[in-house]
Amino acid sequence: MRLFVGLGNPGAKYARNRHNIGFMAVDAIAADHGFGPWRAKFQGQMAEGVLAGEKVVLLKPETFMNLSGQSVGAAARFYKLGAAEVTVFHDELDLAPGKLRVKTGGGHAGHNGLRSIQSHLGADYMRVRLGIGHPGHKDRVTHYVLQDFAKADEAWLDDLLRGIADGAPWLAEGKPDRFQNAVAQRMAPARPANPKPAPKPVPDTAPGPGTVPDDPAPTDDAARSPLQRLVDKFR
């Protein structure tokens, strides 16, 4: 059994925020793989389904980001899951928009949602880091993550979420490399080989009907008779 957690803040006000990309990720998995309806439990919203023959519970904590660990800890205890069975989808400032990386363990890098989870679960869970880019200065981070994605982000965001849904069964099987490959294929699909260009037609140099051929090249002056050379002088 696996617990997939998407991080974000509850309510329509935050729904399209950069900080809510974790919610968007688990929503995409639920929609694409026919999970059951979302229902309130563990101080959040949860849905159940099956991926690659493995039971998976999706969880969106509604405690607000800074207290996400309360919800995740309650779910993990209820299902008797260790950190190794938990995967957390979260926004990542240190990755360019649209980039995705998977890692297990490590620090929280100042992410308050991860900080809270680690206080309840320890650090040895899997993280799916979803790049949103950095605003350039730490003083602008809070405002930046609580802003909606821009119009220019919509294309890559849609591809990323579709890729996450495509690859989710690999995560359930514990194969993060294959999951990342599935996302990469959706983000940059293979292009068909370019067809060979048609050979250029060889121009037809034969004169067409009614065409007057060019004057033949003049013959060597030495081969002309004295009379011909005399006539040439008066032309």
For residue 36 the two structure tokens come to 């059951």
Contact status, residue 89 vs residue 172, Cβ threshold 8 Å = no
* 143: annotated active-site residue: no
Beta-carbon neighbour count of residue 148 at 10 Å? 12
Question: Which of 19, 90, 120, 137 is the catalytic position?
Answer: 19
Q: 3-state DSSP call for residue 58?
A: strand
Q: Beta strands 126-131 and 39-41: pairing type?
A: unpaired
Give one DSSP letter per residue of 79-146, joined into a string: TT--GGGEEEEEEETTS-TT-EEEEES---TT-HHHHHHHHHH-S-SEEEEEE----SSGGGHHHHHT
Contact status, residue 65 vs residue 7, Cβ threshold 8 Å = yes
Picking from 60, 75, 46, the residue whose alpha carbon sits closest to that of residue 14 is 60
Contact status, residue 38 vs residue 67, Cβ threshold 8 Å = no
**Which burial class, exposed, middle or buried, applies to 68 when counting CB atoms under 10 A from its CB (0-12, 13-18, 19+)?**
buried
Active-site positions? 19
